[in-house]
Structure 1
C-alpha cells in the first residue's frame, strides 16, 4: 500500500487503507477459535442506526477517486463491483467472490483476457437497470485527471490504458474494454494477470450511469448500486449519512447483510475522543464502531482489567510489513556483509516494544506477512533470536572491512506513530550500538520523509519503511518492491533496493500467468525466501490492530483481507 500523495493509497490502509490507517489480519469472537470482538449477545436483527466514529474523513466519495480494495468499508455499502471480498472472519475473508458478476471472471488461456457476466435483476437506487456499459464507463471516467486518486492498475494493465485520458476527453472509450451486450464485459490486458479477479474488487469497477455523471461533483450524490444510498455528504465526507436503497435486492448480493436502517459517519475526531466514547458506550455511542482508530498500549492496559470491555475489542491483521530498507548504491550498504550484520544486530523484542508491545506488533523475519493467502513461507536467513546477535554482527563487520565498527545514518519520520517514528528508530539505534554500529538519526516531517524514501536513486542509504498489499496475495506485495521494471529513478519509486534481477523479473511474470491462486501463493512464498537471502531489507514486525465496538454492536466480522470490522455485516438491534 502506498501512502499519501504519489505514495498513498496503497495502504490500503490503511484507509483502507492501509491502510492507511485502516488496515490489518484475523478476527471473530474472542475465544479459542477466533480473535475478534464478541460484540453484544443475541441474534442480529434489522433496524436501528449504526454510527461510525473516525479520525479520517471519508473524502472523495466517488468510485473513481477512492483507493479501496474490495470497496473498502463504508464505500462498499454504496458501491458494488464486479467481484468483492468474502465477508467472513479470518482466512476465509481473503477469498475473492462474485458481486455484480455471476462468477470471479473467466480468463483465456494465458490470462490476458477476462470475461465477466452480470447477474440478472441488478438496479440502481432509482430503479434503472445496471448494465456492463455502466461498468465500462465507470472505469473509463476514472482515467480523467480531475478524478485522480484511485488505484493505478487499469492504466497499467489495459491495452491502451497508458495513453488514455478518460471519458471526458475521449468519449469513444477504451477498445480494450468490450461490452458485446448489456450483461457481458471483456477486458483485454497487455500481459497475463492471474490476479485480475482481485483488481475487479476496486471501486473503479463500480457502475456509473453516464446520464447521472456530474464529474468532480458526482461525489456529492453518487448513484448507489449497493444496499445504501447517500442522503447527506457534508464537508467532503466529514459527515456522511446513508439510508436504505429501496431497489437493492439482497437476492443478488450474498455478501452484504445490511442490518441497520441508517448509517451515520462522523469523522475528523481525535483518536482519544473516539476511544473514550466507545469505552463509555453511552446513548447513541452504544451502537458505534470505528474503522480507522486503534487502541494504544495505555488504553489496552486499562481495558485488560475490565472483562466487559475486553469482550468488545476486535483484533485484526492486515497484510503489512514494517521494515528497514537499504539503498545498495549508497556506501557502506553496497556491501552485503554490512547489510547482513545489521540484520543480525536487530533486537526485535525492543522494536516490538517500541511499536506498542506484543499486543500491537508481531516480530517478522520474512517480507511477506504471516498469512497463507500471501504465500507465507517461514524463513530466517539471519537468525538473531529475540534480542539480536551482536557478536555475529561484529564478526561480519570485520569481514566487511570494519573491524572497529562504523557510523551510519537512519532516516525516519518525526510523526509520533509506532511504525516509522522516533521510538522505533531509537530501538534500532540502541540495538546496532551493541554491535559497534553508531547510528545517527535523521528525523523528517512526514511529507519530506515519504518523498525522500521513495525518491529512487536519491533515497537514503538506510531508512525505516513499510508496505501493505492492495489485496491478499503475493503479487501486490513483492512486485512493486522487487520488480526491476518498476524502478522509478526520480520519485514514487517503491523498489528501495533498486533490484533489477532478470531471474526475479521472469519469475514474477511466470507467477502472474497463474490463475490457480493457491499455486501462485506457493511460488510467491518461494520467491520471497529467495530474495531474502540478499539482505536487501530487514523485516521488523507486522502490526496488529485493536479496536473497540459499542456495547450494542452485534455480528462482528474482521477478515484477513482488511483487518478491520466489516460494517456491511454489523447489526445494532
Structure 2
C-alpha cells in the first residue's frame, strides 16, 4: 500500500486508513482498550448497553456509500455497520483481531485441494432492510457490479483472481443471464468461486465490501450510494453534502442471531466528516453535549493535543492505541547508478540513523524502529532480522568501508526524492534526517522535494522513477501476501501505469516462493513462509526499512467498550456503546 496501502492492484486514490500521522506516545503510557464486553471502571471497559446516539467526527468525508466503490476490508469503520460480507474480521483487540471469521457465510470458505475453487454456504435467516431474504444471487450480483467501470474505486483483486475477471465489464454491459461464470450459485445459499491460480488467502479477500449483497431490482447504478440496501445492523437514512453528514438508524430486519461480530449498541450513528483534525481532537477532549459520546475513525492526536493530555489524568484514560501493518522505508532503483552496486545500497543501510529519523517524525514513541520490511505483527509473518546491523544510530565507519569497496573511497553524491506534504511518512523532516546521517558516512545527499501528486507520479513510473526515494506501504489485510507481492513480485511490474516494484525485482526464486505460499490455506504456516521470504529479500538490500507507526486516537468520555485490532489499528465502531 504505497499510499498508504496501495499495491499494483490499487487505484491512485487509494484508501487513507493509514494516511494520517501516528503520534508520540504519552509518557507513562495510556489506557488502550479492553476486551469486548469487558467490565471495568471508566468509559473504555464499562459494561455496554443498548441505546443512545454515537457521534463520529472524521476528517475524510464518506464520499460514497456504494459497496462496489468502497476500499475497505473487514474493518470496523462506518460502512461495516451497513454492509455485511461473506467473511469479516474477528472483532477482538490486538492480534486476535487480525483473523477472518464468518459473517454472512457459515464458515470462512471451503477450498479445493489446490485452493483454486472456494465454496461458501450462507447462514439461515439473512435479510435485507426491507425484510427480503439475502441469497447467493445477491452476493454474486454485488460482486459483478463492482466490475462496472462507472463504479470504480473498490479493491480490484477479483479482476485478477477470478477466471474471466480481466475481461468482464459488469452487468450493465454484459447482459448474459449467467453473468460472471466463474461465480456459480447452484442454489440460493451456495456460492462457488473459480480462481485463475491458487489463493489461500481468499477468506481474507472475502472481507472486502465488494462481497456485500446487492438486490438486482434495487440497483440504481451510480445513484445506489444515495440509498444502499442494508444487510447490516444499520441503514442509511440521511446522506448530505457528498458524505459530510451521514445518519444511520437501526435496521429492524437485522438479527443478532446471524451476526456474532457486530453489537449495534447505539440506536443512531451520526457521522460528521470533512472536519479539521485539530477541531476533532478539541471536541473529543472537551466532550460537550453530543461530543461526550463521540469517536473518530481517521484522526490521530497531534503534538499539541498530546501535551495537553499528558497533564490530564482523565484524558489519558481516553486514548486508544492501535497498530496497522505499515512500513516507511528508503527505496532503491538499481537501474539508476550507483544503486545497481549492492555495496552502495549496503553502505546506505549501515549509514542510516533510525533514531534521528524517528525523532524527525515526531519522537521515539511515534513509531517502532524497523529493520524488516514486514510489520512487527504475527499475522504478517514477522521474523526479526537485521541484515545490516548498525544499531539505532547507524554505523558510518562500516558504511565508509563498503563505499571504498564499491569504488567510492572519497564518498559520493546522491539525490533523495521525497514528498513535501506534511505527513509523517515522507516529510521533509524525515528526508533531512536521512541526509544528515548519510553525510557522516561521506555521502552528500541532495534533497528533491516534490508536491505530493508529482511525487507519487514520479516514484511510481518505470520511466521516471528516481534512484533513491522515501517510500511507504501498508497491507490490504493482515498478511505478508499483500505486503511483499506487490513490491517484489516481478510479474507485478507495471510499465505503462502505476508501478510499485521500486527495485524492478524479477527474481524467479522469489516469484516461485510467492506462488507456493499462495497455495497454502493454513495461514499460520503461510505467515512463517512470508517471514522467511522477507528475510531473503531483505538480504538483497533493495530497501532500507525505517519505522512502523503507532496510532493514538481520543474518544469521548461517554463511550464504552473500546476495541482496536491489529487489522487496521483503528477503533471498531461496531463494538462501541454510549452512556
- TM-score scaled to structure 1, two decimals? 0.96
SS at match of 1:325: strand
Aligned to 2:18: 19
Q: Distance in 1 between matches of 2:136 and 2:21?
A: 31
Q: Are residues 10 and 278 of structure 1, via their aligned partners in 2, closer, same or farther at CA, if it must alter by over 3 Å?
A: farther
Contact 1:2 1:11 in 2 (8 A): no
Aligned-residue CA RMSD in angstroms?
2.3
Q: 1:220 aligns with which of 202, 226, 231?
A: 226
Q: Distance in 1 between matches of 2:452 and 2:344?
A: 28
Residue 70 of structure 1 deviates from its aligned partner by 0.8
Q: Distance in 1 between matches of 2:34 and 2:255?
A: 33
Aligned to 1:348: 354
Aligned to 1:506: 512
SS at match of 1:478: helix
Contact 1:132 1:184 in 2 (8 A): yes
Q: 2:125 aligns with which of 115, 121, 131?
A: 121
2:328 maps to 1:322: yes
2:148 maps to 1:150: no
Alignment of 1:416-565 (within 5 A): 416-565=422-571
Contact 2:491 2:506 in 1 (8 A): yes
What is the number of equivalent residue pairs in this alignment? 569
Q: Are residues 141 and 512 of structure 1, via their aligned partners in 2, closer, same or farther at CA, if it must alter by over 3 Å?
A: same
SS at match of 1:18: coil
Alignment of 1:149-548 (within 5 A): 149-172=153-176, 173-548=179-554
Q: Are residues 158 and 11 of structure 1, via their aligned partners in 2, closer, same or farther at CA, if it must alter by over 3 Å?
A: closer
SS at match of 2:334: coil
1:95-122 Cα deviation digits (max 9, x unpaired): 1000000000000000000000000000
SS at match of 2:578: coil
Contact 1:12 1:470 in 2 (8 A): no
1:446-478 Cα deviation digits (max 9, x unpaired): 111111111124211100010000000110000
Contact 1:9 1:18 in 2 (8 A): no
Alignment of 1:35-114 (within 5 A): 39-40=43-44, 42-70=46-74, 73-114=77-118
Aligned to 1:3: 3
Contact 1:23 1:564 in 2 (8 A): no
Contact 1:11 1:21 in 2 (8 A): no
Q: Are residues 421 and 476 of structure 1, via their aligned partners in 2, closer, same or farther at CA, if it must alter by over 3 Å?
A: same
1:469-496 Cα deviation digits (max 9, x unpaired): 0000110000000000000123311111
Residue 358 of structure 1 deviates from its aligned partner by 2.5
Residue 4 of structure 1 deviates from its aligned partner by 8.2
SS at match of 2:559: coil
Aligned to 2:31: 30
Residue 23 of structure 1 deviates from its aligned partner by 9.4
Contact 2:21 2:424 in 1 (8 A): no
Residue 299 of structure 1 deviates from its aligned partner by 2.0
Q: Distance in 1 between matches of 2:85 and 2:244?
A: 24
SS at match of 2:61: coil
SS at match of 1:70: coil
Q: Distance in 1 between matches of 2:74 and 2:10?
A: 13
Aligned to 2:572: 566
Q: Distance in 2 between matches of 1:68 and 1:522?
A: 26
Contact 2:330 2:544 in 1 (8 A): yes
Range with greater deviation from structure 2 (364-373 or 235-244):
235-244
Q: Are residues 23 and 425 of structure 1, via their aligned partners in 2, closer, same or farther at CA, if it must alter by over 3 Å?
A: closer
Deviating above 6 A after TM superposition, structure 1's stretches of 4 or more consecutive aligned residues are 4-9, 11-14, 31-34
Q: Distance in 2 between matches of 1:247 and 1:32?
A: 31
Residue 5 of structure 1 deviates from its aligned partner by 12
Contact 2:327 2:373 in 1 (8 A): yes
Q: Are residues 378 and 71 of structure 1, via their aligned partners in 2, closer, same or farther at CA, if it must alter by over 3 Å?
A: closer
Contact 2:33 2:44 in 1 (8 A): no
1:60-99 Cα deviation digits (max 9, x unpaired): 2100000111155110000000000000000000010000
Contact 2:5 2:474 in 1 (8 A): no
1:338-361 Cα deviation digits (max 9, x unpaired): 100000011111111111113321
Q: Distance in 1 between matches of 2:174 and 2:22?
A: 36
Contact 2:3 2:472 in 1 (8 A): no
Q: Are residues 58 and 44 of structure 1, via their aligned partners in 2, closer, same or farther at CA, if it must alter by over 3 Å?
A: same
Residue 281 of structure 1 deviates from its aligned partner by 1.0
Q: Are residues 40 and 495 of structure 1, via their aligned partners in 2, closer, same or farther at CA, if it must alter by over 3 Å?
A: closer
SS at match of 1:87: coil
Structure 1: runs of 5+ lacking an equivalent? none
1:123-178 Cα deviation digits (max 9, x unpaired): 00000000000000000000000000100110000000000011100032111000
Q: Distance in 1 between matches of 2:8 and 2:309?
A: 32
Q: Distance in 2 between matches of 1:85 and 1:22?
A: 24
SS at match of 1:43: coil
Q: Distance in 1 between matches of 2:469 and 2:67?
A: 34
Q: Are residues 5 and 563 of structure 1, via their aligned partners in 2, closer, same or farther at CA, if it must alter by over 3 Å?
A: closer
Q: 2:136 aligns with which of 132, 136, 151?
A: 132
Contact 2:33 2:562 in 1 (8 A): no
Q: Distance in 2 between matches of 1:13 and 1:55?
A: 16
